[in-house]
Amino acid sequence: MGSKKKEIALQITVGNQEHWEELLSSKGLIVVDVYQAWCGPCKTVISLFRKIKNELGDDLLHFAVAEADSVDSLENYRGKCEPTFLLYAGGELVAVIRGANAPLLHKTILDQLTAEKKVLDQGTKREVIKDDALFTEKEEENADIEVHAEEDELIPSGKSCTVAIIKPDAVAHGKTDEIIMKIQEAGFEILANEERTMTESEAKDFYQHRAKEEKFEELIQFMSSGPCHILIISKFGEDDVIPAWREFIGPTDVEIAKKEKPESLRAQYGTEILFNAVHGSDDKDQASRELAFFFPNFKQTEKPTEPSSNRNPERTLALIRPEILKENKDEVLQKIREAGFTVAMQKEVMLTEEQVQEFYSEHKDKDYYPALLQQMISGPVLALALVKDHAVEEWRKLLGPTNLAEAINEAPNSLRAEFSPKESEINQFHGSLSEEEAERELSFFFPVEYTLATIKPDALAEHQDTILETIQSAGFTIFKVKETYLNRGMAEEFYKEHRGKPFFDQLVNYMCQGPCLMMILSKENAVEEWRKLMGPTDPAEAQRSMPESLRSKFAKSILQNGLHGSSNKTHAMEKMHFIFGDIDLEQ
């Protein structure tokens, strides 16, 4: 009961429009958690808010919760699943934080409280903002139609979600906040968080697929014995978040988890099979059922008919063999582009007999191999890394059958039919058979290099999707990704080579102003290629000399230049280990 009283005292409950208007008339800074009735206020931040309030003891700092459906002024926040925190001062909106990002919330609250005290004590001008979601109906009529489309979206199209449960044993032992912190540190995004005590009937419905198990009744008793935390989670860069989540929580059997996955959540917080601290859906069908069970009003936007721009396009290897390369190179490349492929990398090479034997090792016993070998060493070969959704399948369709007679008769518009050789019976094109084979063959012609890339705070907030799409279209593979908030010590270490320079403190402050997106990018000659894609450090120079570069488009100044890239392989390896720890770049 004591903790409940503290929570009520900590956060003012806003029940209607009149309460809202009274709240905004309060003196000082007001932090409002805007929530939906179906998922409730964000519980993950209560301990943070209490810590801030206790440390500051400031009468000018107020916390509140407001249900969007009950307050007219919050109409445009209705239906949003993402935690939203509105910061008001003097009745004006001064900051908006989306997502339960504890470090960012902490910093923003302290910064805005300091700014508001200056307004009250020194009469400085209050910096107010406008959140698109608070447009009045009149403003909406004049707003760009794209704003309406964005406001209707609950979750980006194609975003993979699953249910995660922090079970009663972990909640009872006070481990909820600690587990949630670990989840977020691992790069998972918490889209909803509801504290709930299941009835026995609900637990039986939820676990009906396990009804024949020996310990079913014991499981039901346990899951209805106290409150759980039900989460909806996603993860950036994962087309299917479920395998990543199951890997993170570890095996069901706690003893196996401790032996095989000692860093997993179950190894750290579970005690036995039933009391294993956390739950994860087994597959997409189960995740959909569990989402509907706990969050019946939770909706995802439908996937568009066109693939999402945030998907990592598939890559495949294409080879144009010597005879056609010599006679029809430009025509073939034109056909490839017209078919919607992006040529991410290309290399014209003379292969040795040994290289051909290595590349076509599985074909050496075939009757046609001697002719193939002779063809492959008769002149230069053009190797292409092609990028497109379903690239392996689409490239093989464009090629047509491997047998020339079949290609001419059955697929006369295919490349193999249209560009059949005059002096050889070997078709003049190669295509990988599968995505796995494509990656192996690409590494043969384009040995992979790795580099660290960073999208800095302002660029991440304003241009994340466009930058990621550009990176992928340029043929980079995002090998690892991590959204992280650099504290001052981390930022100083990250940029230690600039220590002592006049701009060092400004640079560190800039990097600490919000989350960054840290990525390991892979591609042939990745260090140099990423620096080319970024462009010069000075955006004015970037606009003059490399107008298509990222910094030309998104940098604001030499200091706020949006992106970071390692200058050489040694620095790349050092920075990758600093951010991601021990990593296996060969996995």
Same domain? For 553 and 571 the reply is: yes
Residue 381 located in a structural domain: yes
Q: What are phi and psi of 518, to 5 degrees?
A: -95, 130
Same domain? For 344 and 407 the reply is: yes
Q: Is the pLDDT of residue 257 over 80?
A: yes
Domain count for the chain, please give it.
4
Same domain? For 285 and 334 the reply is: no
Q: Across the beta sheet with 61-67, what order do the strands follow?
A: 11-14, 61-67, 29-35, 84-89, 92-98
Q: What is the percentage of the chain residues whose pLDDT exceeds 70?
A: 88
Closest CA to 527 of 565, 489, 471, 561: 565
Label residue 472 by pLDDT band (50, 70, 90). confident
Q: What is the mean pLDDT of residues 470-483?
A: 86
551 assigned binding-site residue: yes
Per the model's pLDDT, the better-predicted residue between 196 and 319 turns out to be 319
Residue 335 located in a structural domain: yes
State both tokens at 506: 């400004």
Q: What is the pLDDT of residue 313?
A: 65
330 three-class SS: helix
For 85, the enclosing helix (H) or strand (E) is strand 84-89
This prediction's pTM: 0.35
Same domain? For 328 and 409 the reply is: yes
For 217, the enclosing helix (H) or strand (E) is helix 216-223
78 assigned binding-site residue: no
537 assigned binding-site residue: yes
Residue 586 located in a structural domain: no
Q: Is the pLDDT of residue 564 over 60?
A: yes
User: Tokens 């009745």 identify what position?
Assistant: 91
Question: pLDDT tens digits for 261-283?
Answer: 888 999 898 877 678 889 988 88
Same domain? For 439 and 523 the reply is: no
Q: What is the mean pLDDT of residues 458-474?
A: 89
Annotate 129-140 with DSSP letters as a single string.
Answer: ---GGG--HHHH
Question: pLDDT tens digits for 215-228?
Answer: 888 888 888 887 88
Per the model's pLDDT, the better-predicted residue between 415 and 98 turns out to be 415
Q: Where is the domain boundary, 419, 445, 471?
A: 445
Q: What is the pLDDT of residue 457?
A: 92
Q: What is the mean pLDDT of residues 533-559?
A: 91
Q: Is the pLDDT of residue 238 over 80?
A: no
Same domain? For 549 and 565 the reply is: yes
Helix axes 46-56, 2-10, angle to 10 degrees: 70
Residue 303 located in a structural domain: no
134's CB contacts (< 8 A; 6+ apart) are 73, 76, 93
E-strand stretches of 283-409: 314-320, 342-349, 381-388
Q: Is the pLDDT of residue 320 over 90?
A: yes
Q: Which of 430, 463, 571, 577 is catalytic?
A: 430
Residue 308 located in a structural domain: no
Same domain? For 205 and 337 the reply is: no
98 assigned binding-site residue: no
* Alpha helices, H only, 512-565: 526-534, 539-545, 550-554
Same domain? For 351 and 385 the reply is: yes
Assess whether 279 carries a catalytic annotation: yes
Per the model's pLDDT, the better-predicted residue between 185 and 243 turns out to be 243
Question: pLDDT tens digits for 418-450?
Answer: 888 877 778 889 999 998 898 888 888 877 789
456 assigned binding-site residue: yes
Same domain? For 525 and 550 the reply is: yes
Averaged confidence pLDDT in the chain: 82
Same domain? For 488 and 567 the reply is: yes
185's CB contacts (< 8 A; 6+ apart) are none
Label residue 39 by pLDDT band (50, 70, 90). low
Question: pLDDT tens digits for 117-168?
Answer: 999 999 888 888 876 445 433 343 343 333 333 333 344 445 688 899 998 8
Question: pLDDT tens digits for 339-367?
Answer: 888 887 788 889 999 999 999 988 888 88
Q: What is the pLDDT of residue 153?
A: 32
Q: Which of 106, 209, 229, 279 is catalytic?
A: 279
* Whether the Cβ atoms of residue 197 and residue 224 lie closer than 8 Å to each other: yes
E-strand stretches of 218-326: 228-235, 278-280, 314-320
Q: Where is the domain boundary, 387, 410, 445?
A: 445
Q: What is the mean pLDDT of residues 28-57?
A: 83
Q: What is the pLDDT of residue 204?
A: 86
Residues 292, 105: Cα–Cα separation, whole Å: 30
**Which residues constitute the domain of residue 493?**
449-580
Closest CA to 523 of 572, 564, 557: 572
Q: What is the pLDDT of residue 80?
A: 64
Q: What is the pLDDT of residue 82?
A: 64
CATH code, domain with 179: 3.30.70.141
Assess whether 209 carries a catalytic annotation: no
444's CB contacts (< 8 A; 6+ apart) are 358, 359
Residues 557, 549: Cα–Cα separation, whole Å: 14
Closest CA to 224 of 166, 167, 165: 167
Q: Where is the domain boundary, 429, 445, 461?
A: 445
Residue 495 located in a structural domain: yes
Question: pLDDT tens digits for 365-383?
Answer: 888 889 889 989 999 999 9
Q: What is the pLDDT of residue 38?
A: 61
Question: pLDDT tens digits for 514-540?
Answer: 899 999 998 878 898 899 999 998 889
Assess whether 19 carries a catalytic annotation: no
* Whether the Cβ atoms of residue 198 and residue 224 lie closer than 8 Å to each other: yes
* Whether the Cβ atoms of residue 537 and residue 546 lie closer than 8 Å to each other: no
275 assigned binding-site residue: no
